Structure 1
Amino acid sequence: MINRKFGLRGLMILTLAAALASCQSAYYGTMERLGVPKREIMVSRISEAQEAQEEGQEQFKDALEQFRSVVNFDGGELQSVYDRLDAEFQDSEAAADRIRNRIRAVEDVADALFDEWEDELDLYSNESLRRDSERQLADTQRRYQRLLTAMQRAEATIDPVMDNLRDNVLYLKHNLNARAIASIRGELDTINADVDRLIEAMEAAIAESDRFISEMQV
């Protein structure tokens, strides 16, 4: 019975994945007919991922500042302090989701572009032109892999920040008192270091995006 349930769930996942792939394929086909090639969509999505990372940096800085205000709490309405921190945490989760989704969108169009490019190499009758196109494909894939690695490295720095913020927000939620503030005060250095690493990695990914976009537009 368990295997049957697992099989049905697996079938549903595969069906959904196929449907999503079909939708994306239809979308790219429609855009091609409108004169917007995958190459242009890819550049646009990289720009959107870059923008999400830039906005994310500012949001994570804001969350860090709010956490500092909590650990430096020296009197007043603790509930309002917690509410502001929780709001920043929720905004940070939304920013993290945007970054992840934008990176997935880049990966999707890149896979579609490179698959199409490789398939079309077989259509050449002019061997010299085919070799030149194959060389350009390999060069673009190398540059894209460098970009993707930078984006994935930046994405990986999000989880430690979010995990630590979530833990402390949850702890405060059920312990709104001065003792709780004292308990989480020691977490500030860790969160500060995590945010610094996140910002550094995102700066590197943003710079790599700029480089890739400029080379694609040559």
Structure 2
Amino acid sequence: MKKKTLLCASLLALTFTLSGCESVYYSAMEKVGLHKRDILIDRVEETKESQQESQEEFQSALEGLTTLIDFKGGELQKTYDALNDDYQSSLKAANEVSTNIDKVEEVANALFDEWNEELEQYKSASLKRQSSQKLAETKSQFSTLLRSMRNAESKMEPVLSSLNDNVLYLKHNLNAQAVSEIKGEFTNLKRDIQQLMNDMNESIAESNKFIKQMNSAS
């Protein structure tokens, strides 16, 4: 039964993603038992997974560049092609991360707006106060998570730009001298990728923490 529900949800997600109507999408999801809270948790999980994949791609690009820097003869074109493939894969993975973060922020805002509006439906002042407090806590927790995600995201563009510069330079100057000339930038790029890895690890940890908090409050 659960698999059937998830399949329906996936088909509806595709349909309404293509139509671009999020409000209709959320309503459709509720009809199959998936509320904004569930969608938020799923999207945070998806973003975490895309960050992990992005880490792997950036690490592969770093290893490819390291191989090129340490080049001591052989088929330089083949080594360059591998590096270019790593860059393209890193770019694709980074774009996926950004798209997922946007989706996380979108559903979170929808959830908080709905939650805030529904506070007015309470007749019990005590329950309304408790729900309002829980909303404030959840918004604060999410703010920490989103800030961590955006911080890691901001570190991707400089790394991608540097990788692109190196790939472009090698493309038009594919020889041992060109390889030697980009060695000076390698140290900085290696440092930037390591910082990106650290920031993504922090964001992934925040995602795990947020998912745990949301699930425990269910």
User: Same fold judged by TM-score > 0.5?
Assistant: yes
Deviation sequence 1:25-81 (CA, Å, 0-9, x none): 110010011111100100000000000111111111110000011111111121111
Letter in 2 for 1:205: S
Give 2:196's match in structure 1, choosing from 192, 198, 218: 198
- Taking the aligned partners of 1:49 and 1:124, their CA distance within structure 2 comes to 34
**1:49 is the counterpart of 2:55:** no
Cα distance, 1:22–1:66 mapped onto 2, change above 3 Å: closer
Give the SS at the match of 2:122: coil
- Taking the aligned partners of 1:178 and 1:196, their CA distance within structure 2 comes to 26
Match of 2:185 in 1: 187
Aligned 1:6-155 pairs, distance under 5 A: 23-155=21-153
Give the SS at the match of 1:122: helix
Moved more, 134-143 or 67-76: 67-76
- Taking the aligned partners of 2:146 and 2:20, their CA distance within structure 1 comes to 24
Deviation (angstroms), 1:151: 0.5
Cα distance, 1:129–1:191 mapped onto 2, change above 3 Å: same
Letter in 2 for 1:36: L
Given the two structures, how large is their TM-score scaled by the length of structure 1?
0.89
Cα distance, 1:154–1:21 mapped onto 2, change above 3 Å: farther
- Taking the aligned partners of 1:192 and 1:177, their CA distance within structure 2 comes to 22
Deviation sequence 1:105-139 (CA, Å, 0-9, x none): 10010011001111111111211111111000000
Percent identity of paired positions between Structure 1 and Structure 2: 45
Structure 2 unaligned blocks of 5 or more: 1-16
Kindly report the root-mean-square deviation, in angstroms, between the aligned alpha carbons of the 2 structures. Answer: 1.4
- Taking the aligned partners of 1:196 and 1:160, their CA distance within structure 2 comes to 13
- Taking the aligned partners of 1:89 and 1:177, their CA distance within structure 2 comes to 19
Give the SS at the match of 2:121: coil
Given the two structures, how large is their TM-score scaled by the length of structure 2?
0.89
- Taking the aligned partners of 2:18 and 2:129, their CA distance within structure 1 comes to 33
- Taking the aligned partners of 2:87 and 2:152, their CA distance within structure 1 comes to 19
Letter in 2 for 1:75: G
Aligned 1:138-177 pairs, distance under 5 A: 138-177=136-175
Structure 1 unaligned blocks of 5 or more: 1-18
